[in-house]
Amino acid sequence: MTDYSPNGAASAVHLALRAVVAGNADESELHTLAGSEVLVPTGGVVAQEQAPGEVTLPVYEQEDGTELVPVFTTQARMQQALPRITQHRQVTLGVLAHRWPSEKLALVIDAGTPEEVALTAQGVRQLLDRGAA
């Protein structure tokens, strides 16, 4: 997972995020996102303490009461947004979307970057759930 491909161009995942931000993502770009691996910050929960396939989602509450779960496409982006977080779990975005736990939780991908995407629970399921289990 790197921010850029070897030739200096943006990765396919970051291009897909840009298309979502611009509002013109096609099925191919949504499929790319759903199949991409993202980093879920674990904070104080050590990854080895969790059962395989299980991910404890970090939930942050904003001043307006909105609860969101941040995920990141690279370690650099995670460290930029959450510098105190050093541990994470890697999960396929489509699998996370398929198992999305609550209608109240929003998902934020790459918070604080130009490609930041924020989705409601409904948006998570509509855009990223490709039926993965």
What domains does the chain contain, in order, with CATH numbers? Answer: 12-128 (3.40.1350)
Pairing of strands 117-119, 67-71: unpaired
CB 56 within 8 A of CB 45: yes
Q: How far apart are CA 20 and CA 60, in angstroms?
A: 23
List pLDDT tens digits, range 2-20: 444 444 457 999 999 999 9
Question: What's the confidence (pLDDT) of residue 83?
Answer: 93
CB 108 within 8 A of CB 123: no
pTM for the model stands at: 0.85
Q: Please report which confidence band the pLDDT of residue 124 belongs to, taking 50, 70 and 90 as the band edges.
A: very high
Element holding 126 (H helix, E strand): helix 121-128
pLDDT in tens, 33-88: 999 999 999 876 555 565 556 778 999 999 999 999 999 999 999 999 999 998 89
pLDDT at residue 130, as a whole number: 73
